[in-house]
């Protein structure tokens, strides 16, 4: 039988290596083309490598926590069609596409799948509930629970949960950023009534016609891009005692994942998109971020970051700068407020939609006149938004 060397694929110009996290298949396992084989991680994102061929995983060349250079062989596959015996076994016990997909994702091979007790039908078919229950009990075997005695003689249980790799990485980056940058945060309130009315008027028809959700983040990104063009010294990084001024505007969107971790997909050349283009790319990036389908290069190269803390119901905050950038904008929840409205006929009190913008910036290179001024400039663009704007 011929052999196939599975190599670590290229994952972007600036990525030269990756760390093996865990193997999803065991040596000797039969594999099919596009089966997930191994989970890897760069300094930006976790991802998975699938098999390009049918065969058998003959030998793993690297193990968990080992670092591998791009282009290096990480496993040897023995080329072979799926065994007839295994095909016959599949005929004896049916597994739905959903159950097989969950099994592949969790690294459960066919023979382990066969050990799961099924509750579906007369033949004991494995249901979604069965496999999720099995995974839950398998994973809890690795958790440590023990009682602790306190000075007042009451006992309780504490569960020790080790941080996953992404949480460790995020923690390291946050500490590094606070150590590197002198953080200062300015706060500005903005009236976004026109934007809210615009969305309410168009959202249903827009989703019906395009299949896309009309979110407000596209407008926020557009206004941030305009403000960066007005104040380009916010779009910089620092190297030693040198200031690196960026020609391109690449906007990162801090995105919370279902497991609580954080990832920052990047809109490259954000100034080149129409409002309609921003809606499409933002929806796509966030959707794929939450399903762990981003490519490593899609989380790299950001020059400025936006965090939507309003999605958690927060009014304002003090976001931490995403290195090597020098500023980050947090957008708070939209609230209805009684406000004084100035008109040529006089001042009136009315209900307006308001948000707080929280702008953290690196005081080593950005003073209040620029850091606070930038937040105010974004607010002005938000308030000037024309509710008759068409999505192109």
What's the pLDDT tens digit per position in 57-82? Answer: 989 999 998 899 888 999 999 886 54
Is the predicted pLDDT of residue 149 greater than 50, yes or no? no
Q: In the predicted model, what is the mean pLDDT of residues 129-138? A: 81
Q: And the tokens for 136? A: 């839950």
Across 252-269, average pLDDT? 89
The pLDDT value given to residue 265:
94
E strand or H helix at 352, and its extent?
strand 346-362
Instruction: Identify the CATH number of the domain defined by range 182-383.
Output: 3.30.559.10
Q: Considering only CA atoms, which of 16, 7, 18 is closest in space to residue 68?
A: 18
CA–CA distance, 17 with 37 (Å, rounded to integer):
18
Please check whether the domain covering 1-82 is classified as CATH 2.40.128.50. Answer: no
pLDDT tens, position by position, 270-305 = 999 999 999 999 999 999 988 888 888 898 899 999
pLDDT band at 83; cut points 50, 70, 90: very low
Q: What is the pLDDT of residues 371-388, one digit of tens each?
A: 999 999 999 999 999 877
Q: What dotted CATH number matches 85-140?
A: 4.10.320.10
Torsion sign across C-alpha atoms 10, 12, 17, 23: negative
Of 290, 285, 281, the residue nearest 262 (C-alpha): 290
CB atoms within 10 A of CB 338: 8
Hey, where are the domains in the chain?
A: 1-82, 85-140, 182-383
8-state DSSP, 62: S
**CA-to-CA separations, 226 to 137, 231, 235, 274, 324, in angstroms, rounded:** 52, 9, 12, 12, 21
Please give the Cα distance from 340 to 36 (Å, whole number).
59
């Amino acid at each position: 039988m011929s052999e196939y060397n599975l190599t670590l694929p290229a994952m972007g110009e600036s990525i030269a290596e990756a760390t093996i996290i865990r193997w999803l298949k065991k040596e000797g396992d039969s594999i099919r083309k596009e089966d997930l084989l191994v989970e890897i991680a760069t300094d930006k994102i976790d991802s998975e490598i699938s098999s390009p061929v049918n065969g058998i995983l003959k030998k793993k060349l690297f193990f968990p926590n080992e670092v591998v250079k791009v282009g290096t062989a990480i496993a040897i596959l023995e080329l072979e069609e799926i065994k007839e015996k295994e095909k016959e076994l599949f005929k004896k016990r049916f597994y739905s596409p959903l159950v097989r997909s969950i099994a592949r994702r969790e690294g459960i091979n066919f023979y382990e799948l066969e050990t799961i007790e099924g509750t579906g039908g007369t033949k004991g078919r494995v249901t979604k509930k069965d496999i999720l229950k099995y995974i839950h009990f398998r994973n809890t075997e690795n958790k440590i629970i023990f009682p602790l005695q306190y000075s007042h003689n009451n006992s309780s249980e504490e569960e020790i949960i080790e941080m996953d790799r992404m949480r460790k990485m995020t923690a390291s980056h946050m500490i590094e950023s606070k150590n590197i940058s002198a953080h200062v945060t300015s706060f500005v309130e903005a009236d976004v009534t026109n934007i809210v009315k615009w969305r309410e008027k168009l959202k249903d028809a827009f989703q019906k016609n395009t299949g896309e959700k009309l979110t407000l983040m596209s407008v926020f990104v557009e206004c941030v891009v305009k403000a960066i063009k007005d104040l380009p010294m916010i779009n910089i990084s620092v190297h030693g005692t040198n200031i690196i001024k960026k020609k391109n505007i690449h906007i990162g969107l801090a995105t919370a994942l279902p497991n609580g971790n954080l990832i920052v997909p990047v809109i490259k050349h954000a100034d080149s998109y129409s409002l309609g283009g921003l809606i499409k790319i933002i929806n796509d990036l966030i959707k794929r971020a939450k399903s762990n389908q981003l490519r490593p290069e899609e989380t790299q190269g950001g020059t400025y970051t936006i965090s939507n803390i309003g999605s958690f119901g927060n009014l304002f905050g003090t976001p931490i700068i995403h290195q090597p950038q020098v500023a980050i904008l947090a957008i708070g929840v939209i609230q209805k407020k009684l406000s004084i409205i100035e008109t040529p006929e006089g001042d009136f009190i009315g209900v307006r939609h308001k948000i707080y913008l929280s702008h953290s910036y690196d005081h080593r290179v950005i003073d209040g006149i620029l850091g606070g001024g930038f937040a105010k400039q974004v607010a002005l663009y938000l308030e000037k938004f024309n509710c008759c704007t068409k999505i192109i």
